[in-house]
Amino acid sequence: MSPNEWIALGMIGGFLVLMLIGIPVAISLAVAGFVAGLAGFGPLLFSLMPSRLYGVVTNYTLLAIPLFVFMGVMLEKSRVAEDMLETIGRAMGGVNGGMGIAIILVGVLMGASTGIVGATVVTVGMLTLPTLLRRGYHPGVASATICASGTLGQIIPPSLVLILLSEILGESVGTLFAAAFIPGLAIAIIYIVYLLVLGWWKPELVPAIPKAEREAAGGMKELLRDLARSVIPPLMLVFAVLGSILGGVAAPTEAASMGALGSLLIALLARRLDITMLKACLHSTLTITAMVYFILLCAQPFSLAFRGLGGENMVHDLFNLLPGGELGALIFLMVVLFVLGFFLEWIEISYIALPMFLPIFIGYGTDMVWLGVLVAMNLQMSFLTPPFGWALFFLKGVAPPEVTTRHLYLGVLPFVGLQAMAVVLLFCFPGLATWLPEAIGW
């Protein structure tokens, strides 16, 4: 290898060391990139840096990020999720595992309206985990169901992961949204089937709500009224946002702005919109958006230095050593992303690992839409895989004392297996991702 390639390897190692000793990820990226770039080429390498940073902050597509974040935060803080959980839980409570299925269904709706794992996991965890434990659910199953439900927001559009992957892969946001729609619903269905089988096989782990308690909550008429009041409005908002994108009526950024407005209207009609809540929503939106953009900006010197130091050629030579051609390269990529998910967040993986490997698959002529959804589903597992699964951390922060870390780590393993199964299904049947974009002409 050339001296510059050794510097590129040292840059990657330096980034990991900085991160492991507690330096924030964004700072670690920027420092490793600048030091390695200066060591290899001097200041000349970074002459392109201003234009790259300007390109990030002026990217029209990325404007959808704060708008979708605001929509999700508003629906969360206006207690729409709370109402949905209570209503759907009553509807499904008579089945073994029914409360778990209700949590998955709410995860689908929240994922399609927020795309924010932390908000969904914390909200659902605070509202349902004590109730599930009181009703006899096993702590591991209950906590893992909540965590898995929260991760659905990473694959079901609109998703921040898909928006950023569209920028990396050079595909339109709408195309990736359409491609991820069926795989996202497939994962939710796999979760539901698992809970139904678990309820049949070991009903003591996921017992049904007693009949007397369900009857005390009201009859069918009251249930239908609550469904119309608490489930239909957010469902209509989701269909309006996604339908306008997939139908070609609006660009993702335009649809995101309508979604933000729609979430305000839902909160207003529910008589929960006030100045205090609006300030809290704006503050949360600013915090989350600033975090995402800061990492994007700090990733630019890292990626620029990696390319300038010949890192792409080094990765290309590595892939040439792998057997199996394109198939072997895809399997290797999936394994690498899965392993990185044990230690890194999805943003770092997206902006570090994926750009390194992307030229290889462009050379093979791999379908970028299919690859993007595969990567998104793989990154979804990073929220559940111990020891640094962020969904586990989010839930542990609001869980009752009787829910231990052991419960979380062991309980989540079956759901990691189910997610891996979904990745394998998509790997074997690419049409799950490519059919809808082709059907609607994207």
Q: Annotate 64-84 with DSSP letters as a single string.
A: HHHHHHHHHHHHHHTTHHHHH
Alpha carbon 247 to chain centroid, angstroms: 23
Residue 187 burial class via C-beta count within 10 angstroms: exposed 0-12, middle 13-18, buried 19 and up: buried
CA–CA–CA angle 250, 440, 428 (5° rounding): 120
Q: Supply 143's token pair.
A: 């906590």
Instruction: For residue 276, give every residue at least 6 positions away whose Cβ sits within 8 Å of its Cβ, in sequence order, or none.
Output: none
- Residues 423, 334: contact at Cβ < 8 Å? yes
**How many alpha carbons lie under 13 Å from residue 379 in its C-beta half-sphere?**
28
Integer Cα distance of 196 and 203 in angstroms? 9
**Cβ-based burial of 183 (10 A; exposed 0-12, middle 13-18, buried ≥19):** buried
DSSP-derived secondary structure letter, 46: G
For the chain, what is the domain count?
1
Q: Which long-range contacts (CB under 8 A, 24 or more apart) does 53-61 make?
A: 53/297, 53/300, 56/293, 56/296, 56/297, 56/300, 57/293, 57/297, 59/167, 60/253, 61/163, 61/166, 61/167, 61/173, 61/252, 61/253
Handedness of CA 106, 111, 113, 119 (dihedral sign): positive
pTM of the predicted model as reported, rounded to 2 decimal places: 0.84
Q: What string of pLDDT tens digits covers the 442 residues of the chain?
A: 678 878 888 888 888 788 778 788 788 888 998 898 888 877 777 787 888 888 878 877 778 888 888 887 887 788 777 777 778 877 887 789 988 998 998 888 877 665 566 667 877 787 788 888 888 899 999 999 999 998 888 888 888 888 889 888 888 888 999 999 999 999 999 999 999 999 999 999 999 877 766 666 666 777 788 778 888 888 888 888 888 887 778 888 888 888 889 989 988 888 888 899 999 989 988 887 887 788 788 888 888 888 778 776 777 777 777 787 889 889 989 988 888 887 677 777 887 778 878 888 988 899 999 999 999 999 888 888 876 677 887 788 778 888 888 898 899 999 999 999 999 999 999 999 999 999 886 6
The CA–CA distances, whole Å, from 127 to 2, 200, 324, 395 equal 57, 25, 48, 11
Cα separation, 38 vs 298, whole angstroms: 16
317, two tokens: 């030579």
Domain carrying residue 96: 3-439
How far apart CA 342 and CA 352 sit, in angstroms, is 15
